[in-house]
Chain A
């Protein structure tokens, strides 16, 4: 306290100077409109710059939640799109859809979002673990997709976790068709590259080009029609006689899986029971 008072006394002249100059500046800015406008304008800009910079940094902290919200919204919207497509198809053939069964088609497919907590791409048979299980409504034999394409099929579930047979696993065969065509084949992984797979059993007469999109055919009960699988790598060789395995590039990046969606087909059990009975 003593030292503070001594300091103040010693520098009292300077302090007086500063006090007077502060009064001067306040008067200057307060009472002169031109100076005030310049001051306010530049201070607004400076404050604006600082706030935008810090706001930018702060927004990074919320990215995780925003991401999750966006994915939920995304899956909801895709579900709606599928329903609308069904509706469109049903309404374009009105004589066939007079009964109430086509209502059930709208609620047929449901998406459950989940996060990948374990993944592998370099083994010969790859499996994925998700953080949702029986308590969230996941049952075995359900299909798993992400926003880029097909991922795999649920093999087993526990209460809170589920195991997925990845597409990078020779045990999984997908029924696929070329977009815009009608003939279908099977997609299977050959164990060589995590980004490529093989299309087999395509009828010999079908022509295809490089870049043709491969989508799910909808014939299996697991995946609805129209989900992307990959693109064809090379043009069809017109001279080749034998059906060589056709290479495709998978559309999903298996090494970077994060959020996926599990498709629950409400009529899955019914369809499977019917198929197994009639075999």
Chain B
């Protein structure tokens, strides 16, 4: 988790064409174990989101997006995978297969980024720009998640 926070302090300044940014810290929430008690899950999401907020000087935005991500995690997991696969190991590309994991990560990242950019503009005035930002940032983040998961697989 500390690693991811360090990454964010670096990654924040990487933008493609000034539009897409990668938010890699959500990987931590995505790869938490499946049967973790919900209270603990939400608290972890709260702390993570709050820490990122403090660093980015945007009180509340990352917090709410991460909280939403944590809330969505359980139903989306059940949507993509059957229950037996998830009980033994925490979800990761190693245990579930790379592409299936990428699908799951992509969905959650989409939800997270959309909430984030929506809260950032707080109006539906410039919806086109919000969607543009969302999609490009999702692709960027997924790219990094892909890289990291591949590295993890290769290491085992």
Q: Bound state CA distance, A24 and B46, in angstroms?
A: 9
Q: Bound state CA distance, A13 and B46, in angstroms?
A: 13
Known: A17-B71, A35-B122. A24 touches B60 (CB 8 A): yes
The answer, yes or no, to whether A25 is at the interface (CB within 8 Å) is yes
Place the interface of chain A in its size category. Answer: 20 to 34
Q: Which of B39, B59, B70, B123 contacts A32 (CB 8 A)?
A: B59
B42 near A31 with CB under 8 A, answer no
Q: Bound state CA distance, A14 and B70, in angstroms?
A: 11
The answer, yes or no, to whether B130 is at the interface (CB within 8 Å) is no
Q: Bound state CA distance, A178 and B123, in angstroms?
A: 68
Enumerate B49-74 residues with CB–CB distance to A below 8 Å.
Answer: 49, 53, 58-61, 63-64, 67-68, 70-71
Known: A13-B38, A16-B42. A35 touches B119 (CB 8 A): yes
Residues of B within 8 A of A13 (CB): 37-39, 41-42
Q: Bound state CA distance, A35 and B58, in angstroms?
A: 11
The answer, yes or no, to whether A38 is at the interface (CB within 8 Å) is yes
Residues of B within 8 A of A29 (CB): 60
Residues of A within 8 A of B88 (CB): none
The answer, yes or no, to whether A51 is at the interface (CB within 8 Å) is no
Interface size on B, residues (CB 8 A): 23
Q: Bound state CA distance, A20 and B41, in angstroms?
A: 12
Q: Which of A12, A28, A31 contacts B39 (CB 8 A)?
A: A12
Minimal Cβ-Cβ distance residue in B for A39: B122
Query: At the interface, is chain B mostly helix, strand, loop or mixed?
Result: helix
Q: Bound state CA distance, A20 and B71, in angstroms?
A: 11
Q: Bound state CA distance, A38 and B38, in angstroms?
A: 33
Minimal Cβ-Cβ distance residue in A for B65: A24
Q: Which of B37, B42, B49 contacts A17 (CB 8 A)?
A: B42
Q: Bound state CA distance, A14 and B53, in angstroms?
A: 23
Interface string of A9-45 (1 = CB under 8 A from B): 0001110110011011111111110110011000000
Residues of A within 8 A of B58 (CB): 32
Q: Bound state CA distance, A13 and B45, in angstroms?
A: 13
Q: Bound state CA distance, A127 and B122, in angstroms?
A: 70
Minimal Cβ-Cβ distance residue in B for A41: B123
A27 near B59 with CB under 8 A, answer yes
Q: Bound state CA distance, A212 and B68, in angstroms?
A: 79
Minimal Cβ-Cβ distance residue in A for B66: A24
A20 near B42 with CB under 8 A, answer yes
A24 near B63 with CB under 8 A, answer yes
Minimal Cβ-Cβ distance residue in A for B119: A28
B39 near A24 with CB under 8 A, answer no
Q: Bound state CA distance, A23 and B58, in angstroms?
A: 14
Q: Which of A16, A28, A34, A38 contacts B64 (CB 8 A)?
A: A28
The answer, yes or no, to whether B43 is at the interface (CB within 8 Å) is yes
Q: Bound state CA distance, A103 and B119, in angstroms?
A: 77
Q: Bound state CA distance, A24 and B42, in angstroms?
A: 12
Residues of A within 8 A of B119 (CB): 28, 35
Interface residues of A (CB under 8 A from B): 12-14, 16-17, 20-21, 23-32, 34-35, 38-39
A/B interface sample: 24 pairs, CB < 8 A: A12-B39, A13-B38, A13-B39, A16-B38, A16-B43, A20-B43, A20-B46, A21-B67, A23-B46, A23-B63, A24-B49, A24-B60, A26-B60, A27-B53, A27-B59, A27-B60, A28-B60, A28-B61, A30-B59, A31-B59, A34-B122, A35-B60, A35-B122, A39-B122
Contacts A12-B39, A31-B60 supplied; 13 other A-B pairs, CB < 8 Å: A13-B39, A20-B42, A20-B43, A20-B63, A21-B67, A23-B63, A26-B60, A28-B64, A29-B60, A30-B59, A32-B59, A38-B122, A38-B123
